[in-house]
Structure 1
Amino acid sequence: MTLRLLLLLGLIVPAVASVPCFAAADRVALVIGNAKYPDADAPLKEPVNDARDLADELKRDGFNVDVLENAGGEAMRHALDRLYGKIKPGTVALVFFSGYGIQSNRQSYLIPVDAQIWQEADVRRDGFSLETVLGEINGRGAGVKIALIDASRRNPYERRFRTASAGLAPVIAPTGTLVMYSAALSAVVSDSGRDHSLFVQELLKEIRVPDLSAEETLNHTRVGVTRASRNEQVPWISSSLAEDFTFVTGPAGNRPAGGAAETNVTPPPAPTPSPTQVVVAPPAPPPAPPMPSPAPSPVQKADTPPPPAPAPTATPAPVPPAASNSPSPEPNVAPTSIQVALADDPTIKSLSAKIAANPDDVSALYRRGQVYASKGAYDLAIKDFDDTIRINPKDVEALNNRCWARTVIGELQTALRDCNEALRLRPNFVDALDSRGLLNLKSGANKNAIADFDAALKINPRLTSSLYGRGLARQRSGAAQEGALDIANAKAMDPNVVQEFESYGVR
């Protein structure tokens, strides 16, 4: 499964009414808007526009701003080095990042557009840890550090590995830091398709209000986003600021370094109190009312009652012949024209060149199989996983991915062997438990599906596919209310999960 996480990093400098205003040279900012990721289906619409508008506003507020658009790893590294070089004791620093972010090992990573992410270790290699960035800024002597993080989007790497949680992780930040995420911890927000994000729209409104402390500015932003989204998007704030700072002091015309502020801007009513350490987001809205159980599928009618639920590492009963012969989506055998289109994909081109030079390049074969699977070319993916397993029969990742791909196209008997072998080699392998749960769900072995999804959720409670799959299996087993709750919670975390399961032939 893939991960993405979008991160918005902001280090913001305010001036306090009781303290002299910081000079323009003492305010520095790095603003990054990453929209064009080759692994995504389409470019994001919001990040570049948001970065440009926020950069313009920060310049009017006296910041020395460096702006990057669609930055790769080297460009981001050089920009961070430039930022670090500008910092001296007492400097106020701001870093804004809009794009994809990934949570790994309870840390949040900013992802450059050229990141090559195939497994979780690649996140730490190609991504930029928010905690590391804040720590470096603090080590250079910055007085105020504010991170604004707008990276809670569902990322395109999710199907490649499924051990990382959705959304972003809490930050362990140095003293004097104010951090804001555009959504709650571990939550994801669907890209709106608009030119600007709701988060940045509300943030810009509040930054322009004179004499608000930075904490008040961000709290008002949180209220505005929560109300405008009808509680569907609730930003998260953490603060360890010891003093108040403001973006704009006095009348609107008193901005540092020139540039008039907008006038007659009023804060939202009933602002929330300023936090001392962490402002916990309000509780999510109650789950949707129970959904009616779907009618039994033809597979269920023909299937015999499933055997008792296995232990997490146990092998389920073989798939009944009636289930394996049941109607399933046609294998995605790509016509020549589609194969040509896939061959023109830059990532596939690069991997195919490596395989042509060395047909036993197991890493390139496995990665190309993942790309094919992510694009729905399951027959081509399975061929690459076949070759990967031929070279290394104990490759549990390839076994799991082949199990999942075979399950999607309805090859349930052979898929079951792959998942069982992956779990024999690596007991409690969460990805294989999730894949086998999907297999059992498709075969109508609902009790076995629930057992596999239960085991996966004990390891990763926010594994959306297992939560949604368990909901369907519970409904089909007669536990309508419990199933509806699982489904509602899964849809709250990932609104696209229904469409994802429909693409697997599960409704």
Structure 2
Amino acid sequence: MNATSVKRRTAMRGFALTAALLSGLALAGCQTAPTGEFTNIDKAQGSAENISSLSAVIQRSPQDPEGYNVRGSAYGRGGQYQAALKDFDTAIQLNPNFYQAYSNRALIQRFLGDQAAALADYNRSIQINPDYDAAYIGRGNLYRKAGRIQEAFNDFQKAIQLDTTDARAYHNRGLIYQSQSQHAFAIEDFSTAISLAPDAAEPYNGRGLSYLAMNDEDNAFADINMAIKLDGKNAEAWSNQALIYERRGDKAKAAKSYREAVRLSPTYQPAKDGLARTSTG
């Protein structure tokens, strides 16, 4: 389904969102955000070699804010958040209307736990450029994690109306539909996310959960297995695979998959509970 038809169907639905989450063990993992958010910042690479070359560019043009913005993105992808923050600060000092740098700095602020500063930066980015889809997606993620579901939905919807090609907008709107048990619409959004980012595991896992909620176990199993194939460290996908094995009565395979999920994420409660169920008796 293309973005235009998705927008039209969404406008026709117009349902009132609530904060209720999906109930039941099968959907316990549905609220996970997609990983790899730094892949959407200026396509920068976080390698030491790339950072070194970017530093050389900055040395040659120390008053060019774009160099700091790109190197900040590279630092962010490499997990060097304080260095990234410093570069985005410099980029904004050199160009106070650099809306991309505000949005990029907001993501760093989120990861550092300063949600108020992140929100202020996203708002500033959108104020400067009301058509910047990445800022809406980032702010939508911030709202969603804060439980401000309607505001999150509105931001993802706005990015989609701007014809974004960023899969996160569809994936995260799909998570909201899923949390409202609107599984047919969630599946549409997850499918669009997959078409935009076919190597991302999270939309497959999300779509698999919605298929499972609709008792389409075969499609659910295929999607969850694909999520594991794409990202073998996805604890939720392993737990969801285990759940399907458990539903099918294969406790041995279920326990094995739950055990892998617990190994990857020792605090993930659905996997711990599932392992306790399938490892006894």
**TM-score, structure 2 as length reference:** 0.54
Aligned to 1:11: none
**Residue number among 115, 118, 122 corresponding to 1:351 in the alignment:** 122
CA displacement at 1:3 relative to structure 2: 6.2
**Residue number among 376, 398, 406 corresponding to 2:169 in the alignment:** 398
* Alignment of 1:439 onto 2:210: yes
In the aligned structure 1, how far is the partner of 2:221 from the partner of 2:161?
32
Q: Deviations over 1:378-424 (max 9, x none)?
A: 32222111000100253322112211232123221211111122223
Aligned to 1:418: 189
* Identity level (%): 22
CA 368–484 in structure 1, closer or farther in 2 if over 3 Å, else same: same
In the aligned structure 2, how far is the partner of 1:446 from the partner of 1:454?
12
Q: Deviations over 1:119-178 (max 9, x none)?
A: xxx9xx99xxxxxxxxxxxxxxxxxxxxxxxxxxxxx86xxxxxxxxxxxxxxxxxxxxx
List gaps (5 residues or longer) in structure 2: 1-32, 37-50, 52-73, 86-100, 274-281
**TM-align CA RMSD:** 3.6
Q: Is the 8 A contact 1:440 1:449 kept in 2?
A: yes
Residues 26-425 of structure 1 aligned to structure 2 (within 5 Å):
109-113=78-82, 345-425=116-196
**Residue number among 423, 444, 453 corresponding to 2:224 in the alignment:** 453
CA 2–388 in structure 1, closer or farther in 2 if over 3 Å, else same: closer
Three-state SS of the structure 2 residue aligned to 1:359 is: coil
CA displacement at 1:499 relative to structure 2: 6.1
* Alignment of 1:485 onto 2:256: yes
CA displacement at 1:347 relative to structure 2: 0.9
Higher helix share: 2
Q: Is the 8 A contact 1:446 1:474 kept in 2?
A: no
In the aligned structure 2, how far is the partner of 1:363 from the partner of 1:412?
25
Matched letter for residue 483 of structure 1: A
Three-state SS of the structure 1 residue aligned to 2:254 is: helix
CA displacement at 1:485 relative to structure 2: 1.6
CA displacement at 1:349 relative to structure 2: 2.1
Three-state SS of the structure 2 residue aligned to 1:471 is: helix
Matched letter for residue 398 of structure 1: A
Q: Is the 8 A contact 1:428 1:455 kept in 2?
A: no
Higher strand share: 1
Q: Is the 8 A contact 1:399 1:418 kept in 2?
A: yes
Matched letter for residue 122 of structure 2: L
In the aligned structure 1, how far is the partner of 2:120 from the partner of 2:272?
29
Three-state SS of the structure 2 residue aligned to 1:345 is: helix
Decide which structure has the larger Cα Rg and report it. Answer: 1
In the aligned structure 2, how far is the partner of 1:494 from the partner of 1:415?
26
List gaps (5 residues or longer) in structure 1: 5-76, 78-103, 117-121, 127-155, 158-343, 503-507
Q: Is the 8 A contact 2:137 2:156 kept in 1?
A: yes
CA displacement at 1:435 relative to structure 2: 1.6
Q: Is the 8 A contact 2:262 2:272 kept in 1?
A: no
Three-state SS of the structure 2 residue aligned to 1:461 is: coil
CA 459–494 in structure 1, closer or farther in 2 if over 3 Å, else same: same
Three-state SS of the structure 1 residue aligned to 2:81 is: coil
CA 500–458 in structure 1, closer or farther in 2 if over 3 Å, else same: closer
Q: Deviations over 1:359-383 (max 9, x none)?
A: 2221211110111222233322221
Matched letter for residue 472 of structure 1: L
Q: How many corresponding residue pairs? A: 180
**TM-score, structure 1 as length reference:** 0.32
In the aligned structure 1, how far is the partner of 2:192 from the partner of 2:156?
14
